[in-house]
Amino acid sequence: MNTFVIVDGVFAMRRLGDMSMAAITAVNPLAMLVMAIGILFAMGGSALVVKKEGMGLYKEARQNFTLLTILATGISILVSAFVLIFPEATLNLLGVNYEFMEYAERYLSILAFSIPLVVVSQMFNQFIIADGRPMLGMGISLIGSVVSAGLNALFLFGFNWEIEALAWATLIGYTVPVAVGFNFFCWNRKGTLYFAFPKWDIKAIGTSVLNGAGGAIGTSVLNGAGGAIGTLAMAAIIIVLNNVVVRMEGVGALGVAVAGMVMGIHATIASVFNGYLAGVAPLISFNHGNAHHSRQRRLFRYNLKTLAIISAIVVAGVLIFSDLLIRIYVPSGTEIHEMAMRGLRIASLSFVFLGFNTFAGGQFVALNKGLLGGFLILFRLVGLNLTFLLTLPRVFDLTGVWLSWPLTEGLAIVLSLFLLLKMGKKYGYR
């Protein structure tokens, strides 16, 4: 959903102006909260399911997958219903400023219907990758994004719709990966993973979730907690960031729009590292499940080398092409362009360590140690990023917002490397 919101932001700035961009940026934390639900079940569930496949428990793995999909769908429907019934309360919880409240309400009134589709698409995409079809998983996500972008252009430039057009495009775009994924898991029997009749025991599920152990659901929730905690923390950070920026003298909604552009590019780069992690996580889980330690060690070294190369390319690319990246949103020579380009260049320094920090948390999730992964993510985003975000702008104004990201990643890498190295022998990857 976050990718779709980023695309919405581009079209909002190009066609509708900074008020619409500010509204989309303010609603973005809801997208993060919805993603957290999907991650909770998708990442945690896939780590559990792939581990069981590595142990040869294929039938049990299929039953767990089906049950997790049903639960995730049900929870997302309830969230969607809450947002539709209480839109003003939702926006107040998100801290939306009165300047662009009307725009946010109009956008949210349509976007809320896509919440179940977002969660289910995350489930399907992650489990398609876990079933050994990474190209298919990437392909259906890409097609959905292209459909959404195409409809944005059609609705805004062809039909002259306003901010509602962006939400409709997102809603329709998410039907593509859901439809393809549902068909894949219903009818495809060539792989090892597909829908099966689940073992449904309400009492056992409740006990597992509450105790955090003792069953498939409890284990998957613990595993997924790492990724979900990070997404929830990021949602909180965006809410705080929006409120810090909108209260700066002479900044207001324009500053929120600028922050939305920088965060959109930052989130796109982060998705590169998250996508890489999604591809290698099933391999980590499978080799851990069958105790193939020599493969674990080779894979760990390969991941570190690959992330170092990707990080170097990303940092150089963003610094060199920062002007071009901002021009995706707004034309050059404008005040908002200069503000955004300065922010992006400072924030891009965080990409040196972002990939390694992302991998560290994901490594432990894949090893079925989701709480340890969650601790790493929570320390980085809440302990460091949120602290810097609340303090640095008091001294450096908007520059302090951008500085919070590289400082966060630079300090977090120390703990990430310490835990990766310390736990290596215990879990067989060193």
Residue 203 in this model has a pLDDT that exceeds 70: no
Residue extents of the structural domains in the chain: 2-427
Instruction: Check residue 75 and give its pLDDT.
Output: 92
Name the more confident of 400 and 199.
400
Instruction: Give the DSSP letter string of 148-194.
Output: HHHHHHIIIIIS---THHHHHHHHHHHHHHHHHHHHHHHH--SSS--
Q: Confidence class of residue 84 from pLDDT cuts 50, 70 and 90?
A: very high
Instruction: Check residue 370 and give its pLDDT.
Output: 66
Comparing 5-14, 219-228, 283-292, the range with the smallest average pLDDT is 219-228
Instruction: Check residue 200 and give its pLDDT.
Output: 65
Tokens of 136: 């298919």
Tokens of 187: 């009818």
pLDDT tens-digit map of 285-299: 787 777 777 888 888
Residue 207 in this model has a pLDDT that exceeds 50: no
Highest mean pLDDT pick, 26-40, 130-144, 204-218, 319-333: 319-333
| 174/151 Cα distance (integer angstroms) | 12
| 48/205 Cα distance (integer angstroms) | 15
